[in-house]
Structure 1
Amino acid sequence: MSVKIALAGNPNSGKTTLFNALTGSNQFVGNWPGVTVEKKEGKLKGHKDVVIMDLPGIYSLSPYTLEEVVARNYLINERPDAILNIVDGTNLERNLYLSTQLMELGIPVIMAVNMMDVVRKNGDIIHMKQLGRKLGCEVVEISALKGEGIDVAAEKAVKIARGKYAEAPVHKFSEAVERGLEEIETYLSPAIQEEQRRFYAIKLFERDDKIKGNLAAAPDVEHIIDRLEKEEDDDAESIITNERYSYITSIIDGCYQRKYKGDMSASDKIDRIVTNRWLALPIFALVMFAVYYVSVTTVGTWATDWANDGVFGEGWNLFGIGALHIPGIPQMLEGLLSTIGCADWLQSLILDGIVGGVGAVLGFVPQMLVLFIFLAFLEACGYMARIAFIMDRIFRKFGLSGKSFIPMLIGTGCGVPGVMASRTIENDRDRKMTIMTTTFIPCGAKLPIIALIAGALFDGASWVAPSAYFVGIAAIICSGIILKKTKMFAGDPAPFVMELPAYHMPTVKNVLRSMWERASSFIKKAGTVILLSTVLIWFLQSFGLEGGNFGMVEDMNHSLLAGLGNGIAWIFTPLGWGDWKAAVAAITGLIAKENVVGTFGVLYGFAEVAEDGAEIWGTLAASFTTAAAYSFLVFNLLCAPCFAAIGAIKREMNNAKWTWFAIGYQTGLAYVVSLCVYQLGTFFTGGGFNVWTGMAIILVIGFIFLLFRPYREGQPLKVKMKGAAKA
């Protein structure tokens, strides 16, 4: 018989790290039934019959966010055999708030106090046995990051789930809930001391709606709650919160000894600088500039050039000796196909279509790996959590919450999980706006476009790649300002509260795991979606009507693709790239953004795309000026995302009209910004004044007006409370 163990804990408590360590590769991801919150579960290593369920990171069981609703419903309705509660040992008081709620569910709990390596490093002491006695559950110390104690915690959870402990730690109140409200009334009889009456009344007050709806069956409880609110002169929600923290404080005082009670920790000292009101943004800008500079312009470029020149190029001469030559994939395939007498069309398909298209995209994988390593390190060490805190101060001024920045951080890897992460935002208006703007942040699929434009058309200029990131940030901020001034999005932003984890040095294993999780999806896409796309593009550009006959064409301008491209190229003429090849590349980017580079790989007939542009400068220079190149880059950064991300937008919006509105807004903004970039860029570089230049000036004036016009009053959100409030 299988055993289910639920992992529950606060965000940033190390829950995901522990889940990965316990399950390894024996995990799979889906969605919870009826909702789109991600569902992760896996088999415990060495136990085929033990399923570990990774619940969403939550701060309490109060059903405010969708994550809290999912976690609460799973625990109450599904009733796992045990709960492994992950607690951040460096922030014990805040984490125990959820723990006290978990232990009142009547489900056996094992508490794993995580980050004990940091606790010991700080000189602090947590008395585990004493903490366990006071809480009524077994407590073990672990370090999920370093793998310390995790096997012990897992084995104890398995034992308690299988009922191998004589007495599972279950609170008396939870037992009473199981027996019904009549038994609870006995607990609240006048013979019980007032302190206990108050304690049980508050805990009953926090129970699910079914019990709260039957409060009339326990008038004594209702009377106590009313009297408490009058005595305390406070609302029930605040009373509950205070009571819980008073209880938690009484526990911690005797179990937790801090070495330096009044002194700041190392993390606090670092935060005085990196979260400083004036220094935070310059530091963030400098960090991201360094990340993109190293990833795209220096180390990443060297690695990509090595791959392009070798794997997808002419190969390598060992020790510089021509006789010791290792051919690249194109040369090897060309020699093989010639040897076996392959048909010309099939040889063209393989070399020009598959290798030319897919190879052009895969050549950028080294750059992506470097970028993902940096992002994984910044997330794991705790810096990215600070960025969300920093951006909250800025976003709040423009009508967004710092919660909106979390999906954008996730979106740097892929827009799909970024869009899905917006479901943590309670305010519906803020959530919709976040969905619409999250994909403005350059994802991993857009990195090849950035690298191609930066290298081939800007001669590897160091400012191009970082500017792409900050163009996305600027688009988000400007969108927040403009949209918040409309009736649809008017209103105060949602409150933002999050824990700032202590800084720590991440392990190489976890950084590499995070890097590979992001990169593998890109590589899989190259082997499926991009492969099919490049084959289709090859067919359309290789066949057409020439000389009155349909077949393979000598002149690409007579191909089917040229006909389709010329039909839409006029749309992009004001943006500076009305050439049909560039128009087709932008459209194929809707399937997958990597297709932009893959399409160029097929259309311009090169198997490799080096950053210095040596192979393709002559062909691309004929299609792009400097202003047109940056216009092309901006359009592809800001326009509607790939089909997969559009599907995620549709799922999260759950409304066809809102989905089309989001796609229309993204594409419209991209078109307007690109037009202004090209027309004004051309004008200021001596290109002269024309009708489109005047249109660009009008658009800039209108954009400025929308930014600075007064906010309109929005209708306040009305929250209807059923029964009693929740903590």
Structure 2
Amino acid sequence: MASGNSVRIALAGNPNCGKTTIFNNITGSKQHVGNYPGVTVEKKEGETTFNGQELLFIDLPGTYSLTARSMDELVARNVIINDEPDVIVNVLDASNLERNLYLAAQLIELERPMVVALNMADVAEEMGIKYDIRTLSARTGATVVNTVGRDNVGTQDLLEATVAVAQQGNVTPVKVSYGEILEPKIDELESEIKAAGTITYPLRWVAIKLLEKDPDVVGKIMRIDNTDAVIAKAEALRNELKDQVDLDVVFQEYRHRFALDVYNDMLIQGPTELETRSDKYDKILTHRIWGLPIFMFIMWLLFNFVNTLGAYPQDWLDQGFTALGEWCTTVIPEGQLQSLVVDGIIGGVGAVLSFLPLIVLLFLGISFLEDTGYMARAAFVMDRVMRACGLHGKSFIPLLLGFGCSVPSVMGARILDNYKDRMVTIFVTPFMSCSARLPVYVLFAAAFFPPEMGGTVVAAIYFLGIIFAIIFAKIFRSFIFSGEADPFVMELPPYHMPTLKSIFMHMWERSVLYVKKAGTFILAASILVWFLIAYPQDVQYTQDYDAAREQVTQTYEAQDAAIFAQFGLAAEDQQEAINGIVDEMTAAKEEEDAAAEEAEEDPVELDMAEGAPIPELFADIQKDHEQEMTAAWALYKNRVGMNEEIGVLDEMQASEKIEASYAAQFGKAIQPILAPLGFDWKLGVGLVAAMAAKEVLISTLGTIYAVGGDDTHQQPIVDYLQQDPNFTPLIAVALMVFVLVYPPCIAALAVIKRETNSWKWMTFMFVYENVLAWIAAFIVYQGGLLLGF
């Protein structure tokens, strides 16, 4: 029975059966994601209320079995036997029912009330398949409901059935038979377990698992009091059986036989369409020759879609943060607080958040490809490439997750049963450019390459990562983890058009994590970097800059007076009139420069030489003030000269201040290591800070440039990069390659340590990727110089 007014429901099923779509349909936005206690497997829970009943759904990891071969299978099983959910909802793919019933056979043995969601009923109908669901209900002891998760059909019926089964709380007795030889032994061991009186798990299930010698169950039982006789009895029975049956496979054979019997009993009509729409699509998309080029073309389209479409909202956000920074300079008094808010927080975090549209579009594209079923085909297409370097075809799935984040990518390697395949996959996972690296690539591509080339540059870096992964997987498989790879077996789901709700929920979840990181960790890192750049305050300058600026001002004010005297403008009102015309000319020039920037053109250069005519830009002003214009033009040129000289002094002072900062001191200490790569101290600071999270490289540069830039006129970071004489397109490419290769963030390294259970392997990864990143960037930079770039 459900406890209190809350019903706990475990949602179980094979991968690609539509389980998560049903979960999203039911729980909507009321979801929360964490990890199961003690493991790194993602735990997703969602809540809903139905007919006044509170329901808590637990979306178990998709799995084909409940053995102890992988962490996902173990977690799914332990949630059911330890947490004892009120109901198990087993989602079955109606178009591939025989295969799905194998998991149902194992769920039946856990003796929990069960509801079966016969999903993808529309696909089965399209194939001509007809079932008798009453027979399925009778053979499994479960209430059966037809659903089409993609269209949200049958969801209400499923909720009604789930609540009804939870309220009844009864388990219909159904037994998976293991034949004349095994059944007496199971009964004998079950009696021994019952006599022990201390085991609370389903007794028949424990007996079967002990005879299978399931290591997890054996360990659990050994830790329970008064079970020595049970363990001894199980070992004795195994010794009796080993000459009669193959204990390694016999239990699986009987479960498969049960699944086949249930399938045949309930089948009214088999498939009439021998070739489905998915089969027709697969003839093209998984073609032996064209499959790989098609996949690469789809990836190229994705990155160009992200780069091209995302550029517009990215620019809007960029301009918004720039305007916000300029507004803050007018409302916050000049000083350290203003510098912290404008340069540290807005300059750092704002630079990262401006890339949010790109992250959103990337996750939108990946979610669409996943939900259509194409990503499973991509793993199949890539199998030949993966096998050529000694990897398993299924390794492509966790590697593909790496395009989103390295943490779930490393965790995803658990789907590989072979230890060596799993370790090699973990070691090459960081070559897959995570979403945190994407803003770095886009930033430098936008700063140093034409807009039409941006998407191609970013796609090239991504493909370079794949090439690195293939090469080093081959090296690791040949020298460190040598041995044969397991054969590739994978079930391909049917193609279907994903629901907008499902796609946007995936996109929303991942984008929120990005924003949270920007609002927490990256905020803290930006403030720290600001402090390292803004301090110490007591800098010993090479000259008295305030006195130098005062001297320049006095010199030009004297020249202003000489101009007024030259044109006989002694009266105060005459001088005010000329100053007003100069203000109009200044505003016209600023407006012209802004228009040129918006059109991505170079600003208009005015001929300021002695005797040069008044520029065409000021023709309208000249028409209105024809008599005063000659004097105004002379005064305008004088003011421009003064502003330029003061600007040079400002830049010199800012440069000296930054050069004396703690950050510069640290950057210069490591610069000898990075100098052969063309990197200056600013990049040294950024790359070290970005070990925490790759986006921090952008926030670090944003803060450095903001602190050293114009206090009153903030600029987008792209403009700062383009104006930095220490940057060239070649250095930008070398930097992108370095960021591609060097180790993932601290969180990913922590997960690697946990997954490999070894400080040694985590340290090895950290060292080899740093060394490789340096070598790769050195080859790019020095090779580019030799080629004349």
How does the TM-score come out when normalised to structure 1? 0.81
Report the Cα offset of residue 302 of structure 1.
2.3
Query: 2:17·2:92 contact (CA, 8 Å) conserved in 1?
Result: yes
Q: Secondary structure at the match of 1:312?
A: helix
Query: 1:352·1:538 contact (CA, 8 Å) conserved in 2?
Result: yes
Is the alpha carbon distance of 1:604 and 1:420 closer, same or farther for their aligned partners in structure 2, counting shifts above 3 Å?
same
Counterpart amino acid of residue 17 in structure 2: S
Q: Secondary structure at the match of 1:463?
A: helix
Separation in 1, partners of 2:423, 2:715 = 40
* Runs (5+) with no aligned partner, structure 1: 187-200, 230-234, 314-327, 687-727
Residue 471 in structure 1 maps to residue 464 in structure 2: yes
Deviates further, 353-362 or 201-210: 201-210
Q: Secondary structure at the match of 2:431?
A: coil
Match of 1:483 in 2: 476
Deviates further, 671-680 or 278-287: 671-680
Match of 2:324 in 1: 329
Report the Cα offset of residue 238 of structure 1.
4.7
Report the Cα offset of residue 87 of structure 1.
0.7
Pairs aligned (count): 638
Of 102, 109, 120 in structure 2, the residue corresponding to residue 104 of structure 1 is: 109
Query: 2:670·2:684 contact (CA, 8 Å) conserved in 1?
Result: yes
Q: Secondary structure at the match of 2:103?
A: helix
Residue 654 in structure 1 maps to residue 757 in structure 2: yes
Residue 639 in structure 1 maps to residue 742 in structure 2: yes
Q: Secondary structure at the match of 1:119?
A: helix
Q: Secondary structure at the match of 1:443?
A: coil
Q: Secondary structure at the match of 2:483?
A: coil
Report the Cα offset of residue 456 of structure 1.
0.4
Separation in 2, partners of 1:437, 1:172 = 42
Q: Deviations over 1:512-556 (max 9, x none)?
A: 11111111111111111111111222222122352189xx97432
Report the Cα offset of residue 599 of structure 1.
1.5
Correspondences of 1:570-609 after superposition (within 5 Å)? 570-577=672-679, 579-605=680-706, 609=716
Report the Cα offset of residue 141 of structure 1.
0.9
Of 262, 273, 279 in structure 2, the residue corresponding to residue 251 of structure 1 is: 262
Q: Deviations over 1:294-328 (max 9, x none)?
A: 111x211122123223x224xxxxxxxxxxxxxx3
Correspondences of 1:187-586 after superposition (within 5 Å)? 226-227=243-244, 229=245, 235-257=246-268, 260-261=271-272, 263-296=274-307, 298-309=308-319, 311-313=320-322, 328-337=323-332, 342-460=333-451, 461=453, 462-486=455-479, 488-544=480-536, 545-547=538-540, 554=654, 555=656, 556-577=658-679, 579-586=680-687
Q: Secondary structure at the match of 2:144?
A: strand
Of 40, 43, 49 in structure 1, the residue corresponding to residue 47 of structure 2 is: 43
Query: 2:113·2:169 contact (CA, 8 Å) conserved in 1?
Result: no
Deviates further, 431-440 or 278-287: 431-440
Separation in 1, partners of 2:189, 2:747 = 53
Correspondences of 1:70-149 after superposition (within 5 Å)? 70-149=75-154
Query: 2:284·2:291 contact (CA, 8 Å) conserved in 1?
Result: yes
Report the Cα offset of residue 99 of structure 1.
0.6
Q: Deviations over 1:573-628 (max 9, x none)?
A: 11122x11121111111121111111221222275547xx4x235423x1222222
Separation in 2, partners of 1:345, 1:84 = 59
Query: 2:30·2:46 contact (CA, 8 Å) conserved in 1?
Result: yes
Separation in 1, partners of 2:340, 2:364 = 35
Is the alpha carbon distance of 1:161 and 1:207 closer, same or farther for their aligned partners in structure 2, counting shifts above 3 Å?
farther
Q: Secondary structure at the match of 2:152?
A: coil
Of 157, 179, 183 in structure 1, the residue corresponding to residue 162 of structure 2 is: 157
Match of 1:171 in 2: 175
Larger Rg computed on CA atoms: 2
* Runs (5+) with no aligned partner, structure 2: 193-206, 222-228, 543-649
Is the alpha carbon distance of 1:299 and 1:220 closer, same or farther for their aligned partners in structure 2, counting shifts above 3 Å?
closer
Separation in 2, partners of 1:457, 1:172 = 66
Query: 2:212·2:248 contact (CA, 8 Å) conserved in 1?
Result: no
Counterpart amino acid of residue 546 in structure 1: V
Is the alpha carbon distance of 1:177 and 1:218 closer, same or farther for their aligned partners in structure 2, counting shifts above 3 Å?
farther
Report the Cα offset of residue 266 of structure 1.
0.6
Separation in 1, partners of 2:348, 2:301 = 30
Match of 2:563 in 1: none
Q: Secondary structure at the match of 1:111?
A: strand
Separation in 2, partners of 1:275, 1:377 = 18
Separation in 1, partners of 2:250, 2:185 = 27
Q: Deviations over 1:608-667 (max 9, x none)?
A: 547xx4x235423x1222222111011011101122222222222222121111111221
Residue 677 in structure 1 maps to residue 677 in structure 2: no
Separation in 1, partners of 2:495, 2:273 = 19
Is the alpha carbon distance of 1:226 and 1:352 closer, same or farther for their aligned partners in structure 2, counting shifts above 3 Å?
same
Query: 1:360·1:608 contact (CA, 8 Å) conserved in 2?
Result: no
Separation in 2, partners of 1:543, 1:33 = 43
Report the Cα offset of residue 244 of structure 1.
3.5
Match of 1:4 in 2: 8
Counterpart amino acid of residue 599 in structure 1: T
Of 60, 67, 72 in structure 2, the residue corresponding to residue 67 of structure 1 is: 72
Query: 2:314·2:358 contact (CA, 8 Å) conserved in 1?
Result: yes
Match of 1:56 in 2: 61
Is the alpha carbon distance of 1:450 and 1:178 closer, same or farther for their aligned partners in structure 2, counting shifts above 3 Å?
farther
Q: Secondary structure at the match of 2:151?
A: coil
Query: 2:186·2:208 contact (CA, 8 Å) conserved in 1?
Result: no
Query: 1:185·1:220 contact (CA, 8 Å) conserved in 2?
Result: no
Query: 1:89·1:119 contact (CA, 8 Å) conserved in 2?
Result: yes
Query: 2:210·2:234 contact (CA, 8 Å) conserved in 1?
Result: no
Separation in 2, partners of 1:262, 1:238 = 34
Deviates further, 275-284 or 420-429: 420-429
Query: 2:349·2:526 contact (CA, 8 Å) conserved in 1?
Result: yes
Separation in 1, partners of 2:338, 2:240 = 85
Report the Cα offset of residue 381 of structure 1.
0.6
Q: Deviations over 1:212-271 (max 9, x none)?
A: 9769689999867744x4xxxxx4545544443344333323433557536211111111
Q: Secondary structure at the match of 1:634?
A: helix
Q: Deviations over 1:176-230 (max 9, x none)?
A: 99998349799xxxxxxxxxxxxxx999955856699769689999867744x4x
Counterpart amino acid of residue 101 in structure 1: Q
Is the alpha carbon distance of 1:183 and 1:471 closer, same or farther for their aligned partners in structure 2, counting shifts above 3 Å?
closer
Separation in 2, partners of 1:305, 1:80 = 49
Query: 2:392·2:421 contact (CA, 8 Å) conserved in 1?
Result: yes
Match of 1:193 in 2: none
Query: 1:104·1:173 contact (CA, 8 Å) conserved in 2?
Result: no
Q: Secondary structure at the match of 2:72?
A: helix
- Percent identity, aligned pairs only, is 40
Is the alpha carbon distance of 1:30 and 1:521 closer, same or farther for their aligned partners in structure 2, counting shifts above 3 Å?
closer
Separation in 2, partners of 1:83, 1:359 = 46
Query: 1:85·1:112 contact (CA, 8 Å) conserved in 2?
Result: yes
Report the Cα offset of residue 286 of structure 1.
0.2
Q: Secondary structure at the match of 1:485?
A: helix
